Amino acid sequence: MSSYTGGECVTRPIVEVKDVVKTYQRYRWTVPVLNDIDLTVPEGEFTTLMGPSGSGKTTLLNLIAGIDRPDSGSINIAGTDVVALSESQLAGWRARHVGFIFQFYNLIPVLTAYENVELPLILTDLSKKERAEHVKAALDIVGLGDRMGHKPRQLSGGQEQRVGIARAIVSDPTLILADEPTGDLDKESAGEILTLLERLNSEFKKTIIMVTHDPWAAGKAHVIWHLEKGVLIEQERVRDDKADM
């Protein structure tokens, strides 16, 4: 088992994963995915999870997001025991606390950029005017304030991913989780997305956990965790300029 609390600065942990085990059933066989995982991510840290395909990094990200559940162990996010929540409670908790960025954007083709970003706010108590303020602010942050009426097919891949990031931040979540956010982009567009993630971390103080197989992308984080066959085998601190220091 491995754990890391980060740096010399004293910051409260946002993510506390303890003794987590996850397996999947495949026909008659039990397939181990994560084995006795401990992970602590302090507030304001940009953390990367690296590992080969099948190492369990996306599974760990989904467990932290409350999209999946562990077989055993605990997952505490900003003081909430995620494992103890019911499915309906999880849905509400995710809407308030987790912004998820997908590799393939997951935008709805028939909706405009504005409408795609607004989706997480539809079931909130915000008024239409308040939703509009949030959406416009999020699109401005990602540099697409002038593209809010465009549909995904009218945008480049990099612009689509920026819409996905705007959707992830529109509710001002506690935690941003990014699953291979540059995996479908060319080098230039990937660089723009990574710069935006760095800005969200440094300027807007967002805690970010990113899954990637790309060492260049991983190098933008503060800490890199390496997974191998479901085990956190090592970590390395890349830089110490944490957002809240």
pLDDT digits (tens, 9 = 90+) for 30-69: 999 999 999 999 999 999 999 988 899 999 999 999 999 9
Amino acid code (one letter) for 126: L
Backbone angles phi, psi at 185, to 5 degrees: -120, 155
pLDDT of residue 124: 86
Q: Say if residues 42 and 209 touch (Cβ distance below 8 Å).
A: no
Domain residue spans of the chain: 13-237
Q: Say if residues 206 and 169 touch (Cβ distance below 8 Å).
A: yes
pLDDT of residue 236: 83
Judge if pTM exceeds 0.75.
Answer: yes
Taking CA atoms, 176 is separated from 11, 48, 119, 212, in Å, by: 18, 12, 17, 14
Helices marked H in the chain — which ranges?
Answer: 57-64, 87-97, 113-118, 128-141, 157-169, 187-202, 215-218
CA quadruple 52, 55, 59, 65: dihedral, nearest 10: -70
Backbone angles phi, psi at 90, to 5 degrees: -60, -40
Distance CA 77, CA 79 (A): 5
Residue 61 DSSP symbol: H
Question: What tens digit of pLDDT does each residue of 100-134 get?
Answer: 999 999 999 999 999 999 999 997 889 999 999 99
Q: Say if residues 210 and 199 touch (Cβ distance below 8 Å).
A: no
Query: 99 pairs with which residues across the strands?
Result: 176
Longest distance between any two alpha carbons in the chain, whole Å? 53
Indicate the pLDDT class of residue 237, thresholds 50, 70 and 90.
Answer: confident
Q: Which residue has the tokens 């309906």?
A: 88
Indicate the pLDDT class of residue 235, thresholds 50, 70 and 90.
Answer: confident
Angle (deg, nearest 10), helices 157-169 and 128-141:
130
- CB-hemisphere CA count at 13 Å for 180? 15
CATH architecture label of 13-237: 3-Layer(aba) Sandwich (3.40)
**Chain-wide mean pLDDT for the chain?**
91
Distance CA 99, CA 97 (A): 7
**Is 3 in a helix, a strand, or coil?**
coil
Question: What tens digit of pLDDT does each residue of 168-212 get?
Answer: 999 999 999 999 999 999 999 999 999 999 999 999 999 999 999
Query: 48 pairs with which residues across the strands?
Result: 210, 224
Question: What tens digit of pLDDT does each residue of 8-35 get?
Answer: 445 789 999 999 999 998 888 999 999 9
